[in-house]
Amino acid sequence: MTRSILWFRRDLRLHDHPALNAAVEEAGADGVVPLFVVEPKLWEDAGDSRRRWLAANLRSLDEACNGRLTVRMGEPEKVLAQVSREQKAATVHISRETTPHGRRRDERVRKSLGQDARLTETGTPYAIGPGVILNGSGTPYKVFTPFSRAWRDHGWPAPAERPKRIHWVDAGSDDDAVRKITEASTGHLDFEVGEDAAMDRWADFLDGPVDSYGTDRDRPAVDGTSRLSPYLKLGVLHPRTLLADLARKRSDGAGTYRTEIAWREFYADVLWHNPRSSWHDLRDALPTMQYDDPSDAVEAWKAGRTGYPIVDAGMRQLLETGWMHNRLRMITASFLTKDLHVWWPVGARHFMDHLVDGDLASNNHGWQWVAGTGTDASPYFRVFNPVTQGQKFDPDGAYVRRWVPELRHLSGKKTHEPWSTDGGYEHDYPQRIVDHAEERNEALHRYEQAR
DNA sequence: TTTTGAGTTGTTCGA
DNA sequence: GTCGAACAACTCAAA
Cβ A130 to strand B below 7 Å: no
Strand (E) or helix (H) holding A440: helix A436-450
Sequence-distant (≥ 6) Cβ neighbours of residue A408 within 8 angstroms: A401, A427
Count of CB atoms situated within 10 Å of the CB of A311:
30
Question: From the DSSP assignment, how many helices (H) and strands (E) are in chain A?
Answer: 20, 5
**Rounded to 5 degrees, what angle do the CA atoms A194, A198, A204 make?**
150
Cβ A150 to strand C below 7 Å: yes
Q: Indicate the average pLDDT of chain A.
A: 94
Cβ A440 to strand B below 7 Å: yes
Q: Enumerate the H helices of A194-294 as residue ranges.
A: 195-206, 213-216, 229-234, 239-246, 252-273
Sequence-distant (≥ 6) Cβ neighbours of residue A59 within 8 angstroms: A181, A182, A185, A193
Cβ A440 to strand C below 7 Å: no
Q: What is the pLDDT of residues A42-66, one digit of tens each?
A: 999 999 999 999 999 999 999 999 9
Q: Which nucleotide is nearest to A135 (CA to C1')?
A: C13
Cβ A412 to strand C below 7 Å: no
Can you tell me whether residue A232 is helix, strand or coil? helix
Q: What is the pLDDT of residues A367-424, one digit of tens each?
A: 998 888 888 755 667 899 999 999 999 999 999 999 999 999 999 999 999 999 999 9
pLDDT of residue A374: 85
Phi/psi for A5 (5° steps) reads -115, 130
* Distance of C1' in B10 from CA in A40, Å: 42
Q: What is the pLDDT of residues A194-206, one digit of tens each?
A: 999 999 999 999 9
Chain A window 209-248, residues with Cβ within 7 A of nucleic strand B:
218
Phi/psi for A404 (5° steps) reads -125, 90
Q: Which nucleotide is nearest to A283 (CA to C1')?
A: C11
Chain B nucleotides near the protein (CB, 7 A): 6-12
Residue nearest to nucleotide C6 (CA to C1'): A381
Q: What is the pLDDT of residues A323-379, one digit of tens each?
A: 999 999 999 999 999 999 999 999 999 999 999 999 999 999 999 988 888 887 556
Strand (E) or helix (H) holding A388: helix A386-393
Q: Which nucleotide is nearest to A327 (CA to C1')?
A: B9
Q: Are A412 and A387 in contact (CB under 8 A)?
A: no
pLDDT at A307 over 70: yes
pLDDT of residue A377: 58
Phi/psi for A209 (5° steps) reads -55, -35
Cβ A158 to strand C below 7 Å: no
Residue A276: pLDDT band by 50, 70, 90 thresholds? very high
pLDDT at A444 over 90: no
Q: What is the pLDDT of residues A94-145, one digit of tens each?
A: 999 999 999 999 999 999 999 999 999 999 999 999 999 999 888 999 989 8
Residue nearest to nucleotide C11 (CA to C1'): A377
* Distance of C1' in B7 from CA in A9, Å: 36
Q: Please state, in angstroms and rounded to a whole number, the distance separating the CA atoms of residues A322 and A12.
A: 20
* Distance of C1' in C7 from CA in A220, Å: 29
- Chain-centre distance of CA A124, in angstroms? 15
DSSP structural state of residue A207: T
Overall average pLDDT of the A220-248 stretch:
97
Residue A278: pLDDT band by 50, 70, 90 thresholds? very high
Q: What is the pLDDT of residues A154-186, one digit of tens each?
A: 999 999 999 999 999 999 999 999 999 999 999
Longest dimension (CA), chain A: 78
Chain A window 283-342, residues with Cβ within 7 A of nucleic strand C:
283, 285
Q: Which nucleotide is nearest to A387 (CA to C1')?
A: B11
* Distance of C1' in B15 from CA in A373, Å: 35
